[in-house]
Amino acid sequence: MTIKFGTDPVTVELDRVLGILQAGTWSAGDESALVDLKEEAGRRDHRGTLLPARPESDVAAEQVAEESACMSNTPGGGALVLGVADDGTLIGTSLGVDWLRHRVYEITDRALTIEVREIHLGGVRLLIITAPEAIEPIRVRNRIKWRLDDNCVEVDLATWHAKRMIRTHFDWSAQPSHVPADQVRASAVEAARQFLRDSGETNAVDLARQPTPELLRRLNVVTGDGYLTNAGVLAFVGRGDPALDYIRRDVPGGDSRQRVHKGARGLLEEIADVFTNINAYNSIKHIRTGAVVGQVRDLPEQAVREAVVNGLAHREWGLAAPTTIEHIGKTLRVTSPGGFFGGVNSQNIITHPSQSRNRALTELLAALRVAEREGVGVDRMVREMIRVGHRAPDISEIDGPFVRASLVGDATDEAWIGWLASIDPPETREDLNALLLLRQVVDQGWFDVVTAAPLLQLNQAETQGAIQRLNIATLRNGPLINLVPGVPDDAPFAWSLAPAARDALQRLDRTFGTDRPAPSRERIAKSYSRARGRVSTTELAGIVGASPTNVGGVLKSLERQGDLKPSRATRRGPGFYYVPVED
């Protein structure tokens, strides 16, 4: 089944160029501003003799990176046909597809993801390299180039941005396709209705009752002349090949228990199928919090949904690979084609303003209540994992490039859940910043504004505000966190868990048999001194809830090990402390 998404000028021009090459009638007049022919660099010696082809060549990768960056910097992007001489002679290439894509990504400082596919013309292997239009200028050797007619020329940053502003807000998923709206699959429409009904929201349930034409119109996936947008095609018709590949294994390396990898259906159908299978293997546990018995899954359902939907909404749809979902034991790993987008990275993904390659698709999935509203999905994913005592999801960019989100559902932490339920005011239990700070103070023993800022992905002023809000919270009418004593007047405050709050968590750990790894006094002293440049017995004692006389031996032991040294040779007197030894 061939799906006719909206016309792409680069694709149209590429088809024309390949047709001429196939016919063997290429001439100088057939040159194109959107498609360039390139013989692989490094294939000839100084005499012009053709050398044997190799699967990897840095010389060729540098050439492709420079030419692809030039195309990407040009409005609309462009494509290269690698393995063809300027006169149309088919030379061929043996460069590896995956290797070349990743090498170009590295050469462009992880800024450019190209699509690479191989074709054969007249028995000769060629590579088709498509470079999408850049959101920010892509530099090679610290220079910005773009296409002018059929040449690459250098351009200054101001000129590039001025040109870019004319074409801002381009969204492939919002473009009209060639698929009439009456071609939607009935099963995809029913999947959309079910997502709306499941939300329980009055407006959503009302939308689910509308006739199909009205439903599609309200979802903004139909153009004025009756064609679906590209987002509408993906959701209600499908792209032909599967967009999702789900596999379930009980243990790493074990046999597959379930596989969902079926094309020729709408993306909404695929999502619903995957959600059903994940839920089937995502066990439910009944827990008691005070007088209330609740249900908790191995992996929070909202976190799972956000991980899957983010892997679809923000992926690079120009790449053919599906978004893969590996459900192994109590771990879910979602890997989506394309790197981070629009300035987002693993260090700012919680707080960075929402950026999407496919805004119309993202808005459609939000309108259908498939996942959270745009811009808060990652917050929800992190919050839901921490609330039940799991580690925060790891969301990172890996070679390819791909973005991978890993949700690890260790044993449900009933003690942690019960402890959080005792905290007032109730909104503290819903506050992501408060949860991250509490996780930090329980796992590491202390925090201050400097160490907490990267954790919360906020600046120090915003982090200070988050700490002050947590400082107001109580646990059974007692403080939740305390200032670390002994901090010099000219140093920033540090915070630790209040003794009563620590005792309450330890009692719950004993009740539920939780083996909670607690940081040792040595580990706390080392992390505190390295981060803050000093540690005293008063400070360490305040953090661990002991007497200063009982922790002096810890600091002396670290001195003998070469981790600390005394601030004064006498090792006594008011204000005495230790400082870290440089590595």
pLDDT 10s digits, 498-511: 999 999 999 999 99
**Nearest alpha carbon to residue 441 among 467, 462, 460:** 467
**Helix axis angle, 267-281 to 186-199, nearest 10°:** 50
* The pLDDT of residue 373: 60
**Domain extent at residue 457:** 414-580
- Contacts of 472-477 with C-beta under 8 Å, sequence gap 24+, read 473/423, 473/424, 473/425, 473/428, 473/434, 474/423, 474/424, 475/419, 475/422, 475/423, 475/424, 475/500, 475/501, 475/504, 476/422, 476/500, 476/504
**Is residue 196 in some structural domain?**
no
Q: Is residue 517 part of a domain?
A: yes
Identify whether 111 is part of a domain.
yes
pLDDT by residue (tens digit) across 102-114? 999 999 998 899 9
474 with 392, same domain: the answer is no
Q: What's the rounded Cα separation, in Å, for the pair 303 and 463?
A: 24
Please give the DSSP secondary-structure letter assigned to residue 390.
Answer: P
End-of-domain residue from the set 137, 170, 203: 170
Tokens of 465: 């505000």
CATH number at residue 26: 3.30.950.30
Q: Across residues 134-138, what is the average pLDDT?
A: 86
What's the rounded Cα separation, in Å, for the pair 54 and 60?
10
Inter-residue contact 310 to 271 (CB < 8 Å): no
Give the dihedral of Cα atoms 334, 335, 339, 345; nearest 10 deg. Answer: 30
Interatomic CA distance for residues 107 and 141, integer angstroms: 9
pTM value?
A: 0.73
522 in a structural domain: yes
pLDDT in tens, 393-448: 999 998 888 999 999 998 789 999 999 999 999 999 999 999 999 999 999 999 99
- 154 and 59 share one domain: yes
Do 464 and 560 lie in a common domain?
yes
User: Which CATH number fits the domain that encloses residue 529?
Assistant: 1.10.10.2340
Say if residues 525 and 554 touch (Cβ distance below 8 Å). yes
**What's the pLDDT score for residue 488?**
94
Task: Please name the residue that has the structure tokens 């009982």.
Answer: 550
- Asked if 389 and 420 sit in the same domain, the reply is no
Please tell me the predicted confidence (pLDDT) of residue 221. 96
pLDDT digits (tens, 9 = 90+) for 278-301: 999 999 888 876 655 578 899 999
What percent of the chain is predicted at pLDDT more than 70?
A: 94
Give the span between the Cα atoms of 399 and 410, in whole angstroms: 27
> Do 250 and 375 reside in the same domain of the chain?
yes
Q: Say if residues 94 and 54 touch (Cβ distance below 8 Å).
A: yes
Same domain, residue pair 372 and 490: no
Residue 119 tokens, joined:
């074709």
Instruction: Say how far apart CA 556 and CA 568 lie, in whole Å.
Output: 13
CB atoms closer than 10 angstroms to residue 397: 17
| 339-371 pLDDT per residue, tens | 887 778 888 888 877 777 788 999 999 999 997
Residue pair 64/129 in contact (Cβ under 8 Å)? The answer is: yes
pLDDT value for 501:
95
Whether 66 shows a pLDDT value over 90: the answer reads yes
Position 377 pLDDT exceeds 80: no
**Mean pLDDT, range 254-279, rounded to an integer:** 95
Number of domains in the chain: 3
Is 197 domain-assigned? no
My answer on whether 378 and 455 are in the same domain is: no
Position 578 pLDDT exceeds 70: yes
**Distance separating alpha carbons of residues 489 and 486, to the nearest angstrom:** 9
Instruction: Give the helix, strand, coil percentages of the chain, each rounded to 5.
Output: 40, 20, 40
Where is average pLDDT lowest: 9-13, 324-328, 331-335, 475-479?
A: 9-13
Q: What confidence tier does 9 reach under pLDDT thresholds 50, 70, 90? A: confident
Structure tokens at 215: 């439903």
Q: What is the mean pLDDT of the chain?
A: 90
Decide if pLDDT at 3 tops 70: no
Token pair of 550, please? 């009982």
162 and 15 together in one domain: yes
Domain assignment of residue 272, yes or no? no
Q: How far apart are CA 483 and CA 539, in angstroms?
A: 10
Asked whether residue 69 is domain-assigned, the answer is yes
User: Does 490 score more than 80 pLDDT?
Assistant: yes
Same domain, 441 and 383: no
Report whether pLDDT(158) > 80: no
